[in-house]
Chain A
Amino acid sequence: MLDAHLVVDRGAFRLDVPLTVAAGEVVALLGPNGAGKTTALRALAGLTRLAAGHVRLDGRDLSGTPPERRGIGVVFQDYLLFPHLSALDNVAFGPRRQGRSRSAARALAADWLDRVGLAEVAGRRPRALSGGQAQRVALARALAVAPRLLLLDEPLAALDARTRLDTRASLHRHLGGFAGGALLVTHDPLDALVLANRLVIVEDGRVVQEGGAAEVTARPRTDYVARLVGLNLFRGTGSGATVRVGELDFAVADRVTGDAFVAFAPAAVAVHVERPTGSPRNTWAATVEGVQRHGDNLRVQLAGPVAAAADVTPAAAAQLGLTPGRAVWAAVKATETRSYPA
Chain B
Amino acid sequence: MRRAPLALLLPAALGLAFLVLPLAGLLARTPWSELGPRLAAPGVLTALRLSVQTASTATLVCLVLGVPLAWVLARVPFPGRRFVRALVTVPLVLPPVVGGVALLLALGRNSPVGGWLDDTFGVTLPFTTAGVVLAEAFVAMPFLVIAVEGALRGADARFEEAAATLGAGRWTTFTHVTLPLVAPGVVAGAVLCWARALGEFGATITFAGNFPGRTQTMPLAVYLALETDLPAAIVLSLVLLVVSVVILALLRDRWITGA
A44 CB to closest chain B CB (Å) equals 10
Contact of B168 among A83, A97, A142 (CB under 8 A): A97
Provide the residues of chain A in CB contact with B169, threshold 8 Å. 66, 68
B176 CB to closest chain A CB (Å) equals 8
In the assembled complex, B65 has its CB within 8 A of some CB on chain A = no
In the assembled complex, A36 has its CB within 8 A of some CB on chain B = no
In the assembled complex, B161 has its CB within 8 A of some CB on chain A = yes
In the assembled complex, B165 has its CB within 8 A of some CB on chain A = yes
Within 8 A of A (CB), among B171-222: 172, 176-177, 180-181, 183
Within 8 A of B (CB), among A97-117: 97-98
Contact string against A for B residues 6-24, beta-carbon threshold 8 Å, 1 for contact and 0 otherwise = 0000000000000000000
Report the stretch among A2-10, A17-25, A74-82, A254-262 that lies at the interface: A74-82
Contact of B164 among A47, A84, A141, A142 (CB under 8 A): A47
| Most interface-central of B156, B158, B162, B164 (chain A CB within 10 A) | B162
Provide the residues of chain A in CB contact with B181, threshold 8 Å. 82-84
Q: How far is the CA of A82 from the CA of B168 in the complex (A)?
A: 13
Within 8 A of B (CB), among A199-250: none
Contact string against B for A residues 131-146, beta-carbon threshold 8 Å, 1 for contact and 0 otherwise = 0000000000110010
Q: Are the CB atoms of B167 and A47 closer together than 8 Å? A: no
In the assembled complex, A31 has its CB within 8 A of some CB on chain B = no
B61 CB to closest chain A CB (Å) equals 26
Provide the residues of chain B in CB contact with A142, threshold 8 Å. 165-166
| Most interface-central of B156, B164, B172, B177 (chain A CB within 10 A) | B164
Query: What count of chain B residues pass the 8 Å CB interface test?
Result: 18
Contact string against B for A residues 62-90, beta-carbon threshold 8 Å, 1 for contact and 0 otherwise = 00001111101110100010111000000
Contact of A76 among B162, B167, B176 (CB under 8 A): B162
Provide the residues of chain A in CB contact with B158, threshold 8 Å. 76, 80
In the assembled complex, B159 has its CB within 8 A of some CB on chain A = yes
In the assembled complex, B163 has its CB within 8 A of some CB on chain A = yes
Provide the residues of chain A in CB contact with B159, threshold 8 Å. 80, 82
Which residue of chain B lies nearest to A47 when distances are taken between CB atoms in the complex? Answer: B161
Q: Are the CB atoms of B180 and A67 closer together than 8 Å? A: no
Provide the residues of chain B in CB contact with A93, threshold 8 Å. 163, 166, 168, 176
Known: A82-B177, A83-B181, A84-B180. A98 touches B162 (CB 8 A): no
Q: How far is the CA of A145 from the CA of B168 in the complex (A)?
A: 11
Q: Are the CB atoms of A145 and B162 closer together than 8 Å? A: no
Which residue of chain B lies nearest to A70 when distances are taken between CB atoms in the complex? Answer: B165
Q: Are the CB atoms of A97 and B167 closer together than 8 Å? A: yes
Q: Are the CB atoms of A94 and B166 closer together than 8 Å? A: yes
B151 CB to closest chain A CB (Å) equals 13
Q: Are the CB atoms of A74 and B168 closer together than 8 Å? A: no
In the assembled complex, A45 has its CB within 8 A of some CB on chain B = yes
Q: How far is the CA of A73 from the CA of B165 in the complex (A)?
A: 6
| Most interface-central of B161, B164, B165, B180 (chain A CB within 10 A) | B165
A8 CB to closest chain B CB (Å) equals 16
Known: A74-B162, A76-B158, A80-B159. A68 touches B177 (CB 8 A): no
Q: How far is the CA of A80 from the CA of B156 in the complex (A)?
A: 9
Q: Are the CB atoms of A67 and B177 closer together than 8 Å? A: no
Q: Are the CB atoms of B177 and A66 closer together than 8 Å? A: no
Q: Are the CB atoms of B167 and A145 closer together than 8 Å? A: yes
B125 CB to closest chain A CB (Å) equals 39
Within 8 A of B (CB), among A172-200: none
B171 CB to closest chain A CB (Å) equals 11
Q: How far is the CA of A68 from the CA of B167 in the complex (A)?
A: 4
Provide the residues of chain B in CB contact with A45, threshold 8 Å. 161, 165
Provide the residues of chain A in CB contact with B167, threshold 8 Å. 68-69, 94, 97-98, 145
| Most interface-central of A72, A97, A145 (chain B CB within 10 A) | A97
Contact string against A for B residues 73-111, beta-carbon threshold 8 Å, 1 for contact and 0 otherwise = 000000000000000000000000000000000000000
Q: How far is the CA of A8 from the CA of B168 in the complex (A)?
A: 25
Q: How far is the CA of A145 from the CA of B165 in the complex (A)?
A: 10
Known: A80-B158, A80-B159. A97 touches B165 (CB 8 A): no
Q: Are the CB atoms of B168 and A68 closer together than 8 Å? A: yes
Which residue of chain B lies nearest to A74 when distances are taken between CB atoms in the complex? Answer: B165
Q: How far is the CA of A301 from the CA of B167 in the complex (A)?
A: 52
Contact of A97 among B161, B172, B180 (CB under 8 A): B172
Provide the residues of chain B in CB contact with A69, threshold 8 Å. 167
Q: How far is the CA of A70 from the CA of B167 in the complex (A)?
A: 8
Contact string against A for B residues 131-173, beta-carbon threshold 8 Å, 1 for contact and 0 otherwise = 0000000000000000000000000101101111111110010
Provide the residues of chain A in CB contact with B165, threshold 8 Å. 45, 47, 67-68, 70, 72-74, 142
Q: How far is the CA of A165 from the CA of B163 in the complex (A)?
A: 29
Which residue of chain A lies nearest to B167 when distances are taken between CB atoms in the complex? Answer: A97
Provide the residues of chain B in CB contact with A83, threshold 8 Å. 181
Which residue of chain B lies nearest to A141 when distances are taken between CB atoms in the complex? Answer: B166
Known: A83-B181, A84-B181. A68 touches B162 (CB 8 A): no
Q: A45-B165, A47-B165, A94-B167 are in contact. List 7 more A-B contacts (CB 8 A).
A: A73-B165, A76-B158, A80-B159, A80-B161, A82-B181, A93-B168, A98-B167
Can you give 5 contacting A-B residue pairs, CB < 8 Å?
Answer: A70-B165, A74-B162, A74-B165, A80-B158, A97-B168
Chain B positions near chain A (C-beta within 8 angstroms):
156, 158-159, 161-169, 172, 176-177, 180-181, 183
Closest 3 CB pairs of A and B: A94-B166, A97-B167, A67-B164
